[in-house]
Amino acid sequence: MNIELIPAIDIIDGKCVRLTKGDYSQKKVYNEDPVSQAQAFERLGFKRLHVVDLDGAKAKHIVNEAVLRGITSATRLKVDFGGGIKSEEDIEKAFAAGASMVTVGSIAVSQPQTFLEWLKTYGAGKMILGADVRNGFVSINGWKEDSKEALLPFLSNYVKAGVKNVLCTDISKDGTLAGPATELYRRVMEAFPHIHLIASGGVSSDADILALDSAGIPAVVFGKAWYEGRIDIEKLKTQD
């Protein structure tokens, strides 16, 4: 198995939660302490962690900086951090709190020149382009607004500008345990075979992860499926 496995911690009010389809009213708390959850992931052998500041996404600036710092201080996990990154100050805060990479989505839609400047300043290795998709179009600001940017043309412009890492979430699948949008991710990889695509949304089982691996998807983020006991990391480790 070649796919990179990335567990997720989504934060609201300092707690580890999951939403359904990005709906803040459909929130379930899985752990009161995100730091202990991150340590548990590390003990299981995971090397990387996806952390989303859902409060920050709503507030349009980083809110859970202290939680990020707690995670990076207590583990050696490579943390990519997103949610509410709207300014260079937010990026600096994230890196100062120990993030290895930051995920930026809304700004790449609403202020493309700003995103390109950040890409140049921090380097493609530090930046993940977040492309949250609903009905084929990129959604922004915590999935509360749909843009007029169609996914593939949107990605094309940034890949040409040097983007290497893309986190693509099918909002209609996220938190539903209905299976990932494998065909969507396959189309993205066919269009941009050299990017490091991180598939996100809908993963419900080991079989879903193996299907993404078979489709040539480089990486996958999963949350609810893990917290609901549907993923067996030891079983996945034995797959070749």
Show which residues are catalytic.
Answer: 10, 132
* Residue pair 82/52 in contact by the 8 Å Cβ criterion: yes
